[in-house]
A and B are shown apart, each in its own frame.
Chain A
Amino acid sequence: MVLRTVLERALTNYMSKQGLRFEGGSMEEGVLRFVGNGFAYVVKVLDEMGGRPELISAALESAFWAAKGERAYILVPRNVASMDELMAIRLHGIGLLLHGTHGLEELPPMVKHIGKDETQTSVKYENASHVIERIEKLERFVQRINEIDTLVSRLERLEALYGKLSDRLLAFGDVRPSHVKTAVADKSNNSADTKTELPSFMKDNPWLDILAEKGPFNA
């Protein structure tokens, strides 16, 4: 069995090769912290004694760190879980470092984990006043959403009314079965820009007429 102290040494070497600086850690809890590339990294180190229960609690703990905006990793013995199980952790945006007979190796990082957008939008809870400020902003957003909801319901009522009026017009007026074709033509007549928006396979396609005739009045 590889001693935890040996693992931690190997990890420190590996991380320094990645350009990260050791920031400290708790030997008792097996947590080591690193900084670099503008991010804080936290690595939970597991040895072969812990087995699966410790892996589960490490995964949950790491998910918590990841949610706080830190880059969470677990250093895990290669044989402690199946690759499918490890994938479940990776899918959650947690990095995995495997150690075995061939030394230390990182599983290919997940897109989620290294995604630029995600890292840019990660929330950093720097202090309480910042959090309060954000809550106030959210409250303003909620208020705006309520206003939009009101507008939506008004619009839906108008749409329903418009639908009824269209149906009545269709019932009383001449039914034009090739209305789809007309819609396409109208669009192209309205502006040159619209014409270019139509995909090539739709332009002058005789099926538009044929299929439009399959309307409820011609079925």
Chain B
Amino acid sequence: MHDEDYKRRYVFGADYGTSEFKYGPITQGERPLAVENRGYFPEKSVLSQIMGADHEVVVGKDVTLFLESGAELATRLVYPMREGIVMKDDARAWKVVKELTHYALEEFRPKGWGFNGFYVVAALSAVAPRYMYERLFEIFDSMAKEVGLVHSATIIPQPLSVAIAHKKTSCVVVESGHGNTQLAPISRAPIRGAVVALNRGGSDANAIMAEILKDAGYGDLAGEEALVRKVKESLGLLPADLDPAISFAKSNPEAVRAVYAVPGTRLKIELAENSWTRFLVGEYVFNPNHEIFQSYFKRGMPRPKDTKLGDVVFYGTMDVAEAIITAVEKCPVELQPLLYSQILLSGGNFSWKVPEKLKGICVDSTTKVKRMMTEKGIENVEVNMASEPQYSVWRGCIVYGYAVPAGYNWSWEKMEGWMNFYK
């Protein structure tokens, strides 16, 4: 079989997300498979060795079985990534990444003859340092040599993959995850020097929701992270403009009053006279610099700080519009208007509902960003929300692998092409 035909048949996408690892070959269709990005290191014993179950690390669905054992989870359960990054010297984290990679590829190993390994397209965070690329290629090399599952591999940044999946050739991808937000300008390729990262994500919106719950008399529930997230998704609102929204809420308390009934319990959460605080949750994601948040910081809510992870600075309190402008202004001037006209928001952190009776007071994320950009003097802005954002990265990987010719070799200078492992 000719290289190009072979490659198109065996393209395999692997999205290394912080919380979930999504994977599957081109034949998977519209959606990949997903497992939690974590591994369990079982206790070593003679018995395990004799029974042939002496894997150093267990990943995938089997992890759940081990969780039943109630063993010391804190030391045995390893989540390899933080903010999309695996630390260089974290040996156990890299073992999890390797085992997950093997697990995913093995699941789709074709039966019969003629298979010489997959063409793997892996997607990493836009802020992943070079050593992560090197270590991942080492893993693919071992997958080729030890188990014959990899023919060639390439690694692309996740925002590029999102842009590809949404058919946008020039755009700014704003990807907001649990712990951080990445802004990556793309113009037929990622503009690597222009990536901006924020040290803010869905977890920060949860933090302010917890404070609001405490103030409303639900202090006992504020520590339950999963519940707080549900309350945030149900009660949190994104105001078009915070001050007028608060004034409206205070003069029309019934209009903003809402109840969250915890499923399967008798518990009902109602913010009552504090219902105006529902607007703070959405606002905090987009702009934590409003003076109203100072009182929360003074009372102990952690203020998002500027941090450095590897070579990348994650800005703490920079607002979303400012971050977009900062990223775009790192690009050539003639490209900037085009980038402003194609802003693509991706991630659950941008999913804000607009209740019918609060139209005009509340907005969705695209309108909010557009308003914020206009306030900063940027016109002709077009903002879109990514559909099915959870699958975008994997889909982009499949398109990338399908299209990039098999004979195009990996270049460390350009950070693209195929690294060939099949001899």
- A contact set with B: CB distance below 8 Å: 52, 55-56, 59-60, 63, 81-92, 108, 110, 148, 152, 159, 162-163, 166, 179-180, 183, 199-202, 204-212, 214-216, 219
A-B contact pairs, 21 of them (CB 8 A): A83-B69, A83-B71, A84-B71, A85-B48, A88-B42, A166-B2, A180-B405, A199-B398, A200-B30, A201-B396, A201-B399, A205-B167, A207-B164, A207-B167, A208-B402, A210-B188, A211-B404, A212-B404, A212-B405, A216-B407, A216-B408
Per-position binary interface string of chain B over residues 339-379, scored 1 when its CB falls under 8 Å from any chain A CB and 0 otherwise: 00000000000000000000000000000000000000000
- With A183-B4, A211-B403 known, 19 other A-B pairs at CB within 8 A are A81-B47, A82-B71, A84-B43, A85-B48, A88-B54, A90-B65, A91-B53, A91-B62, A179-B405, A180-B402, A201-B167, A202-B398, A207-B399, A208-B402, A211-B164, A211-B400, A214-B408, A215-B405, A215-B408
Residue pair A92, B51 in contact (C-beta under 8 Å): yes
Separation in Å of the B86 CB from the closest CB of chain A? Answer: 25
Residue pair B402, A202 in contact (C-beta under 8 Å): yes
Q: With a CB–CB cut-off of 8 A, which chain B residues contact A108?
A: 65, 68
B80 contacts the other chain (Cβ, under 8 Å)?
no
Separation in Å of the B2 CB from the closest CB of chain A? Answer: 5
Number of A-B contacts (CB under 8 A): 135
- B contact set with A: CB distance below 8 Å: 1-4, 8, 29-30, 42-43, 45-48, 50-54, 62, 65-66, 68-71, 113-114, 163-165, 167, 169, 188, 395-396, 398-400, 402-405, 407-409, 411, 414, 416-417
Q: Which residue of B lies closest to A52 (CB)?
A: B47
Residue pair B405, A88 in contact (C-beta under 8 Å): no
Residue pair A84, B69 in contact (C-beta under 8 Å): yes
B68, B165, B417: the one within 8 Å of A214 (CB): B417
Q: Which residue of B lies closest to A166 (CB)?
A: B2
Residue pair A84, B169 in contact (C-beta under 8 Å): no
Q: How far is the CA of A31 from the CA of B165 in the complex (A)?
A: 60
Q: With a CB–CB cut-off of 8 A, which chain A residues contact B69?
A: 82-84, 86-87
Most interface-central of A89, A108, A219 (chain B CB within 10 A): A219
Q: How far is the CA of A199 from the CA of B65 in the complex (A)?
A: 35
Q: How far is the CA of A23 from the CA of B51 in the complex (A)?
A: 28
Residue pair B169, A88 in contact (C-beta under 8 Å): no
Q: With a CB–CB cut-off of 8 A, which chain A residues contact B43?
A: 82, 84-85
Q: Which residue of B lies closest to A181 (CB)?
A: B403
Most interface-central of B3, B47, B66, B70 (chain A CB within 10 A): B47
Residue pair B68, A83 in contact (C-beta under 8 Å): yes
Contact A87-B42, Cβ < 8 Å, known A60-B50, A152-B113, A205-B164: yes
Q: Which residue of A lies closest to B76 (CB)?
A: A84
Q: With a CB–CB cut-off of 8 A, which chain A residues contact B411?
A: 219
Q: How far is the CA of A83 from the CA of B68 in the complex (A)?
A: 9
Q: With a CB–CB cut-off of 8 A, which chain A residues contact B53?
A: 87-89, 91-92
